[in-house]
Amino acid sequence: MEKSAQKKILVAVDGSVYSCNSLDYLIKLFKDDREIVFHLLSIVSGGNSDQNWMLDVDPLRGDTPAVEMRKAKANRYLKDARNRFMRNNFTEEQVEYSAESSAASISTAIHHFANQGMYDGLLIGRRGVGKVGEMFLGSVSADLIRKCHELPVWLIDGEVTSTRFLLSVHCAPQSLLAADHLAFLVAGTPGIEICLYHSSSVFGSTPPASPEDFHAQWGKEWCDKYLDEDRDMYKTHARVLTENGISEEKITTIPPRKDLDASHDLLRQAKKHGCGTVVIGRRGREVEKGLLGGVSDRTTQQAQNMAVWLVG
């Protein structure tokens, strides 16, 4: 299926090796895709200068010289990052960039910028797990994951080389939205494969959604025809993928299983089957606990040398 809509991803970068890992991930996945556009965003802190209080009084005053110097440095890196894409078969029109100053936290500024544009996803790299990583960009990524539910968040941890995806499937509308998002972004991309997998906790999990819960997004007629009767919904997710341009031979299934920790099981299965990216549908920010929310949180916390896409 040919897609007419342009795909646009906001990419938060900071000039570190971890940002380079994110760029390499995108280049490997999308180097033959002429429909995708990236906006590279660097946030420069405007809160460390004694003169910045004047911006609150006179917002037309502009950035201080110190902030302008940091923006100039960020723009040099962004230009280099753009050239990195162009050396790998992308055109100038596919890679935009901007450096923005903000007195707010970096995560708040990125979140605000993302909400102002028409983006299909927000990508951010992470400096690693644990206390050291959390002190740096790890804290930014964790904060964005908590607050950004308006668009999918892609978290990249370390070096990711595989173009195989593990799609976590559940009987929930958010899970089908994750399948739809994945298909929209990668349909027609050479070399990708998608593994469907359902993991649940041995100690119980969120009950499956009722058919009516899917009607708002998918319509009653489609649901009556394609919703599986069991909670795994492998066939339903495969239907969403194929309707959006993923060929059947690109889709495989992994038998469902139960585990003490479904998030750990997802990552273990992803590594076992050579998947570099795990795609998960998650519940809204108003849901504090539950299978999808809890699993998505723990999966992002535990992921190493892997990408996790959170949808919902």
Which CATH number goes with the domain that contains 278?
3.40.50.620
If we measure between CA atoms, which residue out of 222, 308, 220, 223 comes closest to residue 263? 308
Question: For residue 41, what are the β-bridge partners?
Answer: 12, 98
Both 17 and 80 in one domain: the answer is: yes
What are the tokens at 307? 């990408």
Question: Which residues does 277 contact at the CB level (< 8 Å), separation at least 6?
Answer: 160, 162, 164, 165, 166, 270, 306, 307, 308, 309
Asked whether 131 and 97 are in contact (CB, 8 A), the reply is no
pLDDT in tens, 260-280: 788 899 999 999 999 999 999
**For residue 37, what pLDDT is reported?**
97
Task: Tell me: do 116 and 206 sit in the same domain.
Answer: no
* pLDDT of amino acid 135: 32
Q: Quote the tokens at residue 31.
A: 């180097």
Same domain, 184 and 128: no
* More confident position, 121 or 147: 121
212 lies in the same domain as 303: yes
Digit-coded pLDDT (tens) for 207-259: 789 999 999 999 999 999 999 876 679 999 999 999 999 999 999 999 998 88
149 and 173: one domain? no
201 and 297 share a domain? yes
**147 CB-contact burial (10 Å; exposed 0-12 / middle 13-18 / buried 19+):** middle
H or E segment and range at residue 255? strand 251-259
What is the 8-class DSSP label of residue 128?
-
Q: What range does the domain containing 193 cover?
A: 164-311
Last residue of a domain, one of 115, 139, 157: 157
Q: Which of 125, 157, 189 is the last residue of a domain?
A: 157
* Mean pLDDT calculated for residue range 52-71: 64
Let me know whether 195 and 294 are in one domain. yes
Which residues, listed in sequence order, are joined to residue 289 by a DSSP beta bridge? none
Q: Please tell me the least confidently modeled range out of 24-33, 50-59, 299-308.
A: 50-59
For residues 206 and 185, the model is more confident at 185
If asked whether residues 52 and 173 sit together in one domain, one would say no
Average pLDDT (114-120) is: 93
Mean pLDDT, residues 42-54: 61
- How far is Cα 17 from Cα 158, in angstroms, rounded to an integer? 9
Domain count, the chain: 2
Instruction: Please give the order of strands across the beta sheet that includes 36-45.
Output: 95-102, 36-45, 7-12, 121-126, 153-157, 306-311, 277-281, 164-168, 193-201, 251-259
